[in-house]
Structure 1
Amino acid sequence: MFLNTIQSAEGATHSSRRVGRGIGSGLGKTGGRGHKGQKSRSGGFHKVGFEGGQMPLQRRLPKRGFKSLTYALNAEVCLSELALVAVDEIDVLALKQAGLIAANAQNVKVIASGKISKAVTLKGIKVTKGAKVAIEAAGGKVEE
């Protein structure tokens, strides 16, 4: 099989409709465009959502919500995931190398989800109150 020999399955393609070719075709005279009006004319079109001059729906409805541009730069790490890091002194680079956070992450926060038994030292990483208590209880410390 070669790319130039590939064909569509039988019945998958249909010949295009030939409009304006006489009464017998069923699509003669107006050619399926109806009578008069902008849509019946050649070149007669308007942009998507145009309502004939009436205020369009997307402008009648209120603007809502917000999409943060820094959303992708923030990352969360669970307490239980800290045990997966091989080194005891954990920073953002160590978490990236362990594959726990995305490569483009800049702001990292440890949340109190799961348990930690290994003593680790966190550097340059934000920590929730509950996570800080758990880390210090396991013999680790948090340096910000």
Structure 2
Amino acid sequence: MTVRLHSLSPQAGSRRRKLRKGRGIAAGQGASCGFGMRGQKSRSGRPTRPGFEGGQMPLYRRVPKLKHFPLVNRRRFTVVNVSDLNDLPAGSTVNLAALESSGIVNQPKLPLKLLGGGELSTKLTVQAAAFSASARTKIEAAGGSCEVVSD
């Protein structure tokens, strides 16, 4: 059997008749057509725009935009500048335990991060969870090495 346009028809029960609103009480959708009595939601052209809250300042205008949102799962570090490492003996290995014993860090609860503040003149092997780009270049320029250790 070949399918022709005139022989196509929808499957039985798949198409429902269109509701004829406002055609009397017997039609089931007479008078107010199912929109209730009065009010904004019963008027013609009725749906309010998305985000409209009845004249109240809508949520998308109440929330702050762009700046100063806190990071949800921010990584926190014990921060030490490169200039603080000048007091350590040359050739030594610097990690969180060594910094605590030398008195540079008081309470090391968080992993160590080295920042590039100041200058470094001693050759050191530094073990930290993170390095800033400037700290890495200053440590390597002084002849030392940077090792990233897990938190």
TM-score bracket relative to the smaller structure: 0.3 to 0.5
TM-score by length of 2: 0.44
TM-score by length of 1: 0.46
Larger Rg: 2
